Structure 1
Amino acid sequence: MAKARELFLESGSLPRLPMRTGIVESWRRSRLSGVASDHLDPPYFDDLDTGGRLIHAARPVLDRLQEVLSDASASLLLTDAHGRILDRRVEHASLAACLDRLQLAPGFGYGEEYVGTNGIGTAIEARQVAAVFGTEHFTERLHAMACAGAPVHNPLTGRLAGLIDITCWIKDANPLMAALASEAAEDIEQRLLELGSEHERALLTAFLGISRRGGAVVTVSEDLVIANEHAAHLLDSTDHTILRDKVTELSRAGRELVEQVMLAGGDMATIRLRPVGARAEPAGAIVEIEIAPDARPPRHLIRPPQLRLAGSSYAFTKACTDLGTHCRNRTWVLLEGEPGVGKLALAEAVHRSHSPASPFMVIRPQDLAEDRPACQRRITEAIGTPGATVVLRHPERYPQETISALLEWMRTTAHHPGRPWVVATTHLEARPPEDLSSALAVTLTMPALRHRIEDVRDLVPALLRRLSRGGPVSCSPAAMRVLLRYGWPGNVTELLQALRSALTRRRIGEIQPQDLPESCHVTSRRVLTPWESMERDAIVRTLRDTDGDKALAAHLLGISRATIYRKISTYGISIDGR
């Protein structure tokens, strides 16, 4: 086996030797992924779900198996679906020290793409029990070890939930390791089923109890959404995105939340979110939605026609109208929103629509750091200049020594008859100086693009005109559908970058789906690692090159058809084809 591995690393070929099924395929995948054969450097992750359903289901199984193996020089490992280690059980100090040196410990990723052929990553790739002994490991540093991993599937969804692995020194290896890991995986799956049923019962009980009161009620969990008839008629797909974002906030807060939100149809709603518990782990959240008749905004809000910004959704129109009103009244505003959402563009458009010939000044943190006297002269000159606007960009990043002078200028200017209109723009989670925030009378939130996804239809032609300088290029209906399915975490800035990239592939005519960046073809909810982003992009490119033929794409990538289907599901890749 050692000679076969050496020959494979040197030439990519193998001698005619009997080898266990799956090892050669794993070596090829490891080589394709660029894994070093003489080096071990698994990545560390600090954002793992160490309190989720898998941990709760696996804990008693691990406790029982740890007791059974207490006299053996073996370790138990539990990983998530990506091979990242969540829990480790090892009794012998010498084995624990060895595992530490190999970074086979909680937080580290042992996926095949990181460390090559091993019991964890190879079992995940093959979607079946995998045992790897000694020199079968792709990486030389693991040759002294033996391991057997068994995938754990969620019986309610069929998706891979994680993996249980038994690792020991090669001298202590036993053929029964794989059988023991497989049996433990089945036990965990049974507990997942029981917990899942308990979670569903808890959610359904809470939903039925609150629905009897009337009103719109929705329950949201990782795998389940239940809405009563009132909520189904009230909410659209954009509103469901808003609710999921709020449920994520609820999970972080760990307590009941009550908030005012603008629904996509223009109704101002009060939503009450409460966690629904099931033993140690929350099952999800129950959401009550109430629309007060006296709080209902006008249904036919008209955006100022002179405002030259693309977008016609109610949420965006209301933001434009509200900021325009504050501009006319010279009311100072804190304009917040996610990065790339277009806060500065909105402030400038509102200013130009009301005072096109007046100065529009933007003060950035780097401006104050480089030439504070010049910035102070500019904002001082704004006093008494009719229609002037001063935008304070990211004041939370201003040098500390400038804050006092800025606050003094604001106090002096506040009651001046010719005072400028002041707008401070900042990210949602930023914390501007408290005294500065107090000087701004109103806070407005610029809605994220995913909360007004219909605006993409207006933004795309407007951005293409800007990027192509009026050239003969447009967006095809198929490409527009791709853009409308994407979540745009980077908002308008990301959309602009995507169209700029598409124009490098097609300068005239209609932009097609294959012209768009790979990231636009996915709907993944989590942030990907750099390696995962590269893998996702390679799969998307190959699927586009093969017109969506998944079997051919898998062959070209050197992976199995099962693996490519799993990767497509994991990354939320959407490519039309076979």
Structure 2
Amino acid sequence: MTTTDASPAATTARPSLRVARERFLSGRPLPQGVPEEVVAAWRRARFFGVPHDLEESVVSPPLSGESTLLGAARPVLDRIVPALGVGGSLLVLTDERLRVLWTAGSVPGLGVCTGLSEQEVGHNSAALALRTRSRAEVHGPEHFLDRWQDVSAVSVPVLGPENGHVLGTLTVASRLCTAGPPHPQAAFAEATVAAVETELRARAGRGERALLDAYMRAARGPDRAVAALDGRNRLVSDAAQRLLTPEVLGVLERTAADARHRDVTGVVRLPEGAGCTARVTPVRLDGRTIGIVTALEPLDDPAPAAPAPRPPVTLTGSSVPWRHAVGRAAELMRSREPLLLTGERGTGKSALARELFGPDPVQVADAARDAGLDQALSAWRPDGLLLLRHAERLAQPGVAALNSLLDQHPDTRLLVTHTPGAPAGPCLQRLLDRLSARSVTLPPLRERTEDIRELLPALTPPPGARTTPADLDPGRPARARGVPVARERHRAGPCRAGPRGAPAGHRAGPPRGAAGRRPGRTGRPPAQPDGARRARGDPGGAAPPRRQQGTHGGRARDRPGHAVPQAAGVPALRRGPRPGLRRGRGDAQQLGRAEKISTRPS
């Protein structure tokens, strides 16, 4: 915007704003044609609780030290103060929060202010310029305060040379301008801001040059480890790159930020295992600290890094995701606070929970069987260990009881297992959100395929254990998803050996007979695989179903309706009469019809 452009707030022809302002303050309807931005500014002032008859502004706390903007603007302002004249204009410099940094000149009826924010004094040109990032003017009755009704002001924002952020505003206030916009001293304000921004660019380059000079002086010599930092720039030598770790670099960055407020000269305390020492020297410019230069010295005999201790958990698995999850869970269990274990079904949440508790007695609460936790919490002692399984199946009374327990005993050693997937109610979701700060997600087997080789031997049941044909299927163990196996135990993670301890897909009982009944109920042996296919008419069978001979009163009769397949090498069994058939003349007719049906070509 040039100086010949009119202010956006003063381009519209409007009725007397004095009358409109009086009607606004008295609560009466406003006349037509009042600019909406002016009415909105008055409403904001009323919302902030600014009294229109304010005589003195609220005193703000004094600013600590001299700001960068004031340091760059002071030489420019000192040169232009004589041009203001006596009793003609007031020049005000504010920071990005509209706190007054510097004033010069005077205007009759305009007192000294410590802040120009809308929360303190209502609508004014400085607040408008800060919001619009451009030159803004406010004249007479556009102000909210009574004592500024005869004042015209123009404000220009001061932008930073690096990122373009608003660093503050420069305001020129004078008597009310009767000629209308633009303000007579708008060009003067813009020229002053341009000079201040030029000084800021020059000072920004000076600080970087000062930091570079300090780095070059410290880096003289063969293979010296030196780093220079100021919070925005970082200069690091090749030798320092070999010594700096992310943790050490973070400590030095925080030291550079603290150097602007306190003396940090000397040796800086680095994290354990840094392998070096750091001596800090502040970098000063114009009496102010702008950064630090750090000289790094490697330790003479750095102690070898101790290997990371293996988590005190004996569950099978050496993959990185599994070791990371187990290590994180073991670390969180060191403090007496609740822990949440989440993961898919079969990932070993309960097995890991028991391993984390160790040999201490644990009170187990299963929400799948006791959704209200009535039985578990009644037997629980405040100083005991509590394992809550299947938290996703908790009923609302159980969630309320658990929340009450955590409120009364926040240091309870509680471990909760949760399987995501089912929709959670609002009460349960709040409980999970409360425990999410200390939660560990166990990875499924598809994310730790390198553990399959270790899990397969452990999944094999011990000698003498009862197994089923499903357990002996070579493809079954691959379906166990991430089941961690406890060493020195006869169980594989949460699944114990045998048909009852197998997962849901493995709990196949003994094979059924051809007629659908289990062996032992009718005294007949189980059907063989080939015979079963022949019995149900499977085309893959080798021969059509054959009829078995039965005895009835010393005579052999065909029983095609209940034929039992005969495997190779197994003699045919003789059975008694079918219980469902009656003896008499109708028996032969029934058998004859059954024989005709069975011998009919298919």
Higher relative contact order (CA 8 A, sep 6+): 1
> Which TM-score band (shorter chain)?
0.3 to 0.5
- Relative to the length of structure 1, the TM-score reads 0.47
Query: Higher helix share goes to which structure?
Result: 1
- Relative to the length of structure 2, the TM-score reads 0.45
Say which one has the larger Rg: 2
